[in-house]
Structure 1
Amino acid sequence: MSATDDTALSGLATAPATGSKLSWAVADSWTMTRRELAHWRRRPAQVVVGLVFPVMMLLMFSHLIGGGRGVDGDFTPYLVPGMFTMTMAFGLEATMLAVTQDLGKGVVDRFRSMPMTDGALLVGRSVADMAQSVVGLAVLITVGYAIGWRWHGGLTSFAGAVGLLLLLRFAMLWIGVHLAMVAGRPEMVQAVQILVWPAAFLSNAIASPASMPPWLGALVEWNPMSATATAVRGLSGDPGVSGGSWAAAHAGLLAVAWPVFLVAVFLPSAVKRFRNLGR
């Protein structure tokens, strides 16, 4: 148990003895959130790597690999929103790794033995992950501007695009928590990486479905990441290339429906598995 975890336990031990269940839940969840945020200060290298990796991906595709398949003209306006989306999806791996490490070290069992609100640990994990995603997205937007990408929509559309990206990240977060509960070991993250990368590249993040075989293009357009990427491109005022299918025409609707569906499936399942640990 690290010093950070001991600090979190101290926060639980000194929690007020009175108050409603809601206030207890908020206090416990905030204690777990502070624990996760304290890890940023104690392990800054891990945070930096998480921020640098998507930047390297963006620069690699924009400058080294170059133009996109099926994209006419400047590739940057098409690529940057796609990289925003892929970054939100790749966050699944970081969530799964963090939860499996806590499971493997016995941290979860120790917290569960404390008089703590059930699920506070998962709430703390989710809040910290979303905070890191906001920081990572801000860094990526800054780099996007540095390489020539521009936002042509208004402030409202910008807020809507950020909301769609974070909604996708929230869905990926709970998929990661669920997979961590199923796997239970950090070693299994590698197996998930093998699945996440093909799923990410089977989207329109870096290539237009129009450049693919019809059956593959249709599959790509229904990918949740494709819906978010297309919706963000549309809100930016520079939609780029899109197909003529129903999924492409209603990308905004799917960019909300897909994450909501995924959260509805994986959040209750993750919480249920968390409650059944050790039974």
Structure 2
Amino acid sequence: MSASTPPTIDPGVNSGSIQAGTGATPPVATVASYPTTPGRFPREAMVCARRQIIKMFRLPELMAFNLLQPLLFILLFAYVFAGAIGGGAEGRDDYREFMMAGFFAQCILFATVSSSATNIAQDMHKGMMDRFRSLPMTRGAVLTGRTIADFVQNVMMLLMMIVMALIVGWRIHEGFLKALAGFGVILFLAYSFSWVGAAIGTMVRTPEAAAGVVVILFPLTMLSNALVPPSTLPRVLQHVVNWNPYSATVQSARELFGNEAPASDSWPMQNATLASLGWSVLIILVFRTIAVRRYRGVSR
């Protein structure tokens, strides 16, 4: 090449990049700019949700076990413990109606937190989250898609439990629309706790550790009005029960179903639906923030 010959420009790279060997700066890789549009986040979240839902249906045995467990609990309490807890054969039917709202919420919460935490921990452990982080997508879309998939699973589980509850004698007494609102309150609380599972899944090191997170739900569900009236507990525990977000949801569902709801002079129990919705929104705001920040920062 003579001194007057201009350096060759490679059309496949940036216009300011000169071919190697000419003494100029080598080409620099540039990252394309992806505009942020209002509809981008929902689309990405739904794509991630679709991935999880397809994965769920490709493992029918796992889904079957998740659906079978709450059905067994309903049968166990309806026919084995209902007479003893309800005060004899006369109180068995009354206790079935009393317990059912608590069982709906309890079984869904346990399945949601465990599933969300375990699946996210598996993706983190296998490097799937690192691949997602390398893609030009909204950071919260992956976790949001996971929680949407959990919501779909919760709806399926709740439908199965409703059928079983009707078989064992549970009934609604306030009409279809109010009952639908009661189920909505339960599902909204379950969705909020899917963010608790998401936050835990980004914190633990292994999927095995994530599988044990349901232990933290036992105090929440046992210190509540789900299985026994709060008036049977010590006075100090009654305050804990009344301000438990799980108790507010169960109380709201009972009122909307027309089932027996224990009387209480505390504000959350007198305004159970409002308290339940408020608790659910607060849980989503707190744990979604934690989960997304952990997702951004892990493995950097």
Q: TM-score range by the shorter chain?
A: 0.7 to 0.9
Q: Which moved more, 1:124-133 or 1:235-244?
A: 235-244
SS across alignment from 1:21: coil
Gap regions ≥5 residues in structure 2: 1-32
Are residues 246 and 278 of structure 1, via their aligned partners in 2, closer, same or farther at CA, if it must alter by over 3 Å?
A: same
Q: Tell me if structure 2 keeps the 8 A contact 1:69–1:211.
A: no
Are residues 32 and 54 of structure 1, via their aligned partners in 2, closer, same or farther at CA, if it must alter by over 3 Å?
A: same
State the one-letter code of the partner of 2:269.
A
Q: Tell me if structure 2 keeps the 8 A contact 1:88–1:172.
A: no
Q: Tell me if structure 1 keeps the 8 A contact 2:34–2:136.
A: no
Between 1 and 2, higher relative CO (CA 8 Å, sep ≥ 6) is seen in: 1
Partner residue of 2:193?
172
Are residues 190 and 31 of structure 1, via their aligned partners in 2, closer, same or farther at CA, if it must alter by over 3 Å?
A: closer
State how far apart, in whole Å, the 2-side matches of 1:152 and 1:66 are.
Answer: 20
Looking at secondary structure, tell me which structure has more helix per residue.
1
Partner residue of 2:282?
261
Per the TM alignment, residue 29 of structure 1 is displaced from its structure 2 partner at its CA by: 2.1
* Residue among 129, 135, 138 paired with 1:117: 138
Superposition RMSD in Å: 2.1
1:84-109 CA-partner distances (Å, limit 9, x unpaired) = 11123212111111110111111111
State how far apart, in whole Å, the 2-side matches of 1:54 and 1:103 are.
Answer: 28
1:105-162 CA-partner distances (Å, limit 9, x unpaired) = 1111112222333222112111111011111111111111111101111232122112
Per the TM alignment, residue 77 of structure 1 is displaced from its structure 2 partner at its CA by: 0.8
Per the TM alignment, residue 233 of structure 1 is displaced from its structure 2 partner at its CA by: 0.5
Partner residue of 2:154?
133
User: Which runs of structure 2 are paired with 1:132-171 in the superposition (5 Å)?
Assistant: 132-171=153-192
What's the TM-score once normalised by structure 2's chain length? 0.81
From the CA coordinates, give the structure whose radius of gyration is larger: 2
State the one-letter code of the partner of 1:248.
M
Partner residue of 2:237?
216
State how far apart, in whole Å, the 2-side matches of 1:36 and 1:68 are.
Answer: 42
Partner residue of 1:275?
296
Partner residue of 1:13?
none
SS across alignment from 1:244: coil
* Residue 86 (1) aligns with residue 106 (2): yes
State how far apart, in whole Å, the 1-side matches of 2:118 and 2:48 are.
Answer: 17
* Residue among 15, 29, 34 paired with 2:50: 34
